[in-house]
Amino acid sequence: MHDEPWAHLHDPDEERLAKLNVELNNPDHDYYHYETIELKTVGIDIGSSTSHLMFSNITLQRIQEMHSSRYVVVDRQTLYKSDILLTPYTSDNLINTEELESFVSSAYREAEVTPSDIDSGAIILTGEAIKRRNAHSIADLFADSAGKFV
């Protein structure tokens, strides 16, 4: 490094990229808005035992090396974490859609978020929850009513 007794050169591209990264992290710089995407997201986790929901703001930036079109997450801010709900089941051992829908709606209200505010999201069903006959319809229900989901 710099404390060695011999002279050395820096890669000029490395210095240029470092300067560009500083510019890209500055919202006042023109490139920031072309190379940065800010999204409001929701994650809904419906598990065998518990379910919960979280809203976040994520910031994505385009990778600058080699003119890539790939974006990476450079920042995430948690906006809201729901309480943990014991995953509700009906007497015939299906996931209780009405209770889950009420839970999700309540979380949106508490977080002061509407489905139209959501840019992207994910619903994850895990464990025994995914094995229920109505698991697919539950995922579809929340995807249809809660924003743009992957």
DSSP 49-90: SEEEEEEEEEEEEE-TGGG---EEEEEEEEEEEPPPEEPPB-
- Decide if pLDDT at 147 tops 80: no
Structure-model confidence comparison of residues 40 and 145, the more confident one: 40
Which domains, and CATH codes, for the chain?
Answer: 36-145 (3.30.420.40)
* Alpha helices, H only, 1-149: 12-24, 30-35, 97-111, 135-145
CB 64 within 8 A of CB 24: yes
User: Residues 17-27: pLDDT tens digits?
Assistant: 556 565 556 66
Q: What is the pTM of this model?
A: 0.72
Distance CA(38)–CA(58), nearest Å, equals 6
Q: What pLDDT sits at residue 1?
A: 46
Q: Indicate the average pLDDT of the chain.
A: 80
